[in-house]
Structure 1
Amino acid sequence: MNLNDSVLKDKKHIHFIGIGGSGMYPLAQILHAQGYYLTGSDNNPTDTLERVKEMGIPVIVGQRAENINGADLIVHTAAIMADNEELIAAKESGVPVLERSDLLGILTGHFDNAVCVSGTHGKTTTSSMLTQIFMDAGSDPTVVIGGKLPSIQGSGRIGESGNMVCEACEFMDHFLKLQPDISLILNIDEDHMEYFKTLENLIASFRRFASNAKKFVVANGDDPNTCRAVRMLSKPVSTFGFSSDNDYYPEQIKTLDGVHTCFDLMHRGEKLTEIDVFVPGKHNVLNAVAACACAVESGIRPESLNLGMKNFKGACRRFEVLGQVNGITVVDDYGHHPAEIKVTLEAAKSMNFKRVIAVHQPFTYSRTARLLDDFAEVLQIADLTILSEIMGSREKNTIGIYARDLAEKIPGCVWFPEFDEISDYVVSIAQPGDIIITLGCGDVNKCAHMIVDKLKRK
């Protein structure tokens, strides 16, 4: 038993504050399956909360001090504010209180092969690909990912094997709490710089994450920052990338249509198998190579890899097609960093649509200000860009930056403060043959659904 498991020892009743969150749901699944009595609260009824209830877990809508009564361990999400009545009561109760990432770190130590998927971009897609490969190869993994995967109907599942797929987020160094057997690093790009301050600090954190691997590291050998993070590491490192200098790489890449790409998966000069990818973009070929590399290193036979890849049709909010109405396609994507937006818009431009219309919701004032010129450059890949106001999330606008500051740097760009106004405008200009892509990690997906509904009514 890991030393951190002492927190769970002899506990019978665990209470979750914010149990309806996508990151909390898989942890509730794991502990529920292990026989703990769980209760939870949340402020908003959601589909995830309904699934928690279906597990037989008592849930209270509304967060009040008395909700914690009887618990001998309390878990909360990072999104719960310090002045939350229920969290204040928890911290004053004398009962141990864990933040979600602390509990996740403990639980990763319960598995023989925890594959922890890190990187600035592509974590959810690659975690989902690896999940699908494990499942279709009969490996029955436990899964904790940052988005919803249709084949598991959510963000987590309980498996019977020793394999675990866990998305590892670098935000506030949360991934350093994990206990990976395999540490996967997809890429390292400047993000969350309000915390890391410098690129050197960010790379140093990824190096510590890699060092925590009990078995070995799988790293992007084409990414200079990732190479810096794993250079001279004491752990074994397998590399992946497009270059044949890597251990795993693709050859004979063929794009059969805008969505279907196939390639030969190579390992040190030897063809392992042919892989089919049914999500668009060159970046998803690289994500597939990374997922396959982790699967092979976990003992999955090469001939079993492509069954899972053929069945993978994308995770929710990752180039997710929400509707096709009167020849107009509406897609929602989680991309919120310039590098993510770039590959998403380039993928859309390669798919023979008449026009690519981007609707972007900037996320956090600090990121928008720091990367303003980069956002302006990549959003010009679209034929037309519409912006919402910046979603501040955990930040206050002490910088004095607004969506209009970004709009002024993008030719032809317009911005509106409300989704209702954006959706009206987009529907008024959309033409058959267009693709409309909403981009952002906030709630811009609501705008995408509004656009679909209004197109149907038009």
Structure 2
Amino acid sequence: MTTYHLIGIKGTGMSALAQILFDSGEKVQGSDVEKHFFTEEALLEKNIPILPFTTDNIKKNYTIIAGNAFSDDHEEIQEAKRLGCTFYRYHDFLGELAKQYRSIAITGSHGKTSTTGLLAHVLNEAFPISHLIGDGTGKGHVDSEYFVFEACEYRRHFLSYEPDYAIMTNIDFDHPDYFTSVDDVFSAFQAMADRVRKGIIACGDDEYLQRITAKVPVVYYGFGSGNDFQAQNIQNTKNGTSFDVFVRNTFYDTFTIPMYGDHHILNALSVIALCHYEGMPAEDIKKLSSFSGVKRRFSEKTVGKQIIIDDYAHHPREIMATIESAKKKYPTKRIVAIFQPHTFTRTKTFLQEFADSLAGADEIYLCDIFGSAREETGKLTIADLQALIDDCKMLDINHTEVLEQYEDSVLLFMGAGDIQKFIEAYKPGVHDKIINK
């Protein structure tokens, strides 16, 4: 039996892949930096070894899979090539793995992780499946009928895949360190559409996805009347959102999801369309209602009257959607947005859009920009964003107690960097106890 060694095993995709291989009966280990990542917990539960980087980790008979964050001059990659090991980049290995199953790739500029998690949940209730979710969650099954996986467009990595089906949630300009414009993003998705073998489920409310051409059937979903799958009669309830689904203008059934906001309805519609296309009965698809969510996507905890939410939102469109969800779920509470911009390139590109999207909150705090070590920072600082937002404050990690004043409120921590350290630093009530001593 070969041993799979994953370089950068704590990455969200790599961690999920390690779990799939382990569940499928393979011998798995990996290496990474010593810094703690939330993805470690699932690996430790399965006793998958996590080693510090060293060339001693690499043996000639190992299959090596390298995360995309590591360049070819990394010491372990260099050693793997010197020894002539079987070597893959993450996306290339995933492309090979997907060929073994009836594969469903979930892609789009936003909503990939939530939609992948939702589809995996519904299919898992009816079939043995394998899945890879971009929150670091992976599951393998030797008798899998489906393989559901998140397919990222960054650097066109998703062109390594030839899935049976693709769900395309939207096309938007992001990753400005790689893509030059929204048209460049569109060209990547068009190339991806050409690689799909059986069918595409696409959001028909998205103007760019309407322009996609394909050799396979394209089924559209959305709110607009021209969609094949359309949501109508939307109701916000204490348990989430219910809505009627019409298939080509004929009533199909009523569904409930335990989330709030239009983007969640669209994600659910894509899952309903795919499952309907595959012949699943509506009663099985209704398992949508028991979905418990994915990591770092509107993850909530309650402390007194405060609701503390951790969310991965790092693009203006995602920030608007997350604030909308919070308002719909907690209509009587104040929304306090705490935002950490992710990368200097993205912050500079979307400076005004970030300011506009945050304006939906009642109070706004900013954290310093989380930048990559490989980035040019230029002269941009967080003050440039703060200047565009009225009554906006900076949050000092050593003085997070200022958030205690917002008693009956939602504290919405958003960012793709290390925003969690601000959540961990915020200990409601502790400051009062220190003063009272």
- TM-score range for the pair, normalised by the shorter chain length: over 0.9
The partner residue of 2:257 within 277, 282, 291 is 277
Matched, 1:360 2:336: no
User: 1 CA distance for matches of 2:209 and 2:430?
Assistant: 45
1:248, 1:289 within 8 Å by CA — same for their partners in 2? yes
The partner residue of 2:82 within 70, 76, 92 is 92
The partner residue of 1:43 within 33, 46, 51 is 33
Matched, 1:372 2:363: no
Aligned partner of 1:221 in structure 2 is 204
Aligned partner of 2:157 in structure 1 is 174
Matched, 1:426 2:392: no
Aligned partner of 1:439 in structure 2 is 414
Aligned partner of 1:251 in structure 2 is 232
Aligned partner of 1:207 in structure 2 is 190
Aligned partner of 1:241 in structure 2 is 222
2:401, 2:431 within 8 Å by CA — same for their partners in 1? no
Aligned partner of 1:196 in structure 2 is 179
User: 2 CA distance for matches of 1:85 and 1:52?
Assistant: 23
Q: Match for 2:419: what amino acid? A: V
SS of alignment partner, residue 177 of structure 2: helix
1:356, 1:434 within 8 Å by CA — same for their partners in 2? yes
Aligned partner of 2:435 in structure 1 is none
1:331, 1:436 within 8 Å by CA — same for their partners in 2? yes
User: 2 CA distance for matches of 1:424 and 1:440?
Assistant: 20
Q: Tell me, which stretches of 5 or more residues in structure 1 are unaligned?
A: 1-10, 149-153
1:22, 1:155 within 8 Å by CA — same for their partners in 2? no
1:157-202, CA deviations, whole angstroms, 9 ceiling, x for partnerless residues?
A: 4362321111111111111111211111100010012212122221
SS of alignment partner, residue 147 of structure 1: coil
1:101-137, CA deviations, whole angstroms, 9 ceiling, x for partnerless residues?
A: 11111111110x211111111111111111111122x
User: 2 CA distance for matches of 1:399 and 1:227?
Assistant: 38
| Overall identity of the aligned pairs, in % | 31
2:23, 2:140 within 8 Å by CA — same for their partners in 1? no
1:143, 1:166 within 8 Å by CA — same for their partners in 2? yes
TM-score (norm 2): 0.92
Aligned partner of 1:119 in structure 2 is 108
Q: Tell me, which stretches of 5 or more residues in structure 2 are unaligned?
A: 433-437
1:208-255, CA deviations, whole angstroms, 9 ceiling, x for partnerless residues?
A: 111111101111111001112x14x22211000001211111121111
CA-based RMSD of the aligned residues comes to: 2.1
1:2-61, CA deviations, whole angstroms, 9 ceiling, x for partnerless residues?
A: xxxxxxxxx82322112233312332233335554333222235564454355454x253
User: 2 CA distance for matches of 1:360 and 1:56?
Assistant: 35
The partner residue of 1:290 within 267, 270, 275 is 270
Task: Report the number of matched residues.
Answer: 430
SS of alignment partner, residue 23 of structure 1: helix
2:128, 2:146 within 8 Å by CA — same for their partners in 1? yes
Q: Match for 2:272: what amino acid? A: C
TM-score (norm 1): 0.88
Q: Match for 1:419: what amino acid? A: I
Aligned partner of 1:79 in structure 2 is 69
1:280-429 paired onto structure 2 within 5 Å:
280-306=260-286, 308-321=287-300, 323-350=301-328, 351-393=330-372, 395-416=374-395, 418-421=396-399, 423-427=400-404, 429=405
Matched, 1:52 2:30: no
Aligned partner of 1:8 in structure 2 is none
The partner residue of 1:144 within 132, 157, 160 is 132
1:70 shift after superposition? 3.9
1:207 shift after superposition? 0.8
2:60, 2:83 within 8 Å by CA — same for their partners in 1? no
User: 2 CA distance for matches of 1:324 and 1:25?
Assistant: 28
Q: Match for 2:227: what amino acid? A: N
2:303, 2:428 within 8 Å by CA — same for their partners in 1? no
User: 2 CA distance for matches of 1:375 and 1:249?
Assistant: 30
2:236, 2:260 within 8 Å by CA — same for their partners in 1? no
User: 2 CA distance for matches of 1:275 and 1:394?
Assistant: 45
1:82 shift after superposition? 5.0
2:21, 2:140 within 8 Å by CA — same for their partners in 1? no
Pick closer, same or farther for the CA change 1:182–1:292 going to 2, 3 Å: same
Aligned partner of 1:151 in structure 2 is none
2:95, 2:160 within 8 Å by CA — same for their partners in 1? yes
Q: Match for 1:298: what amino acid? A: E
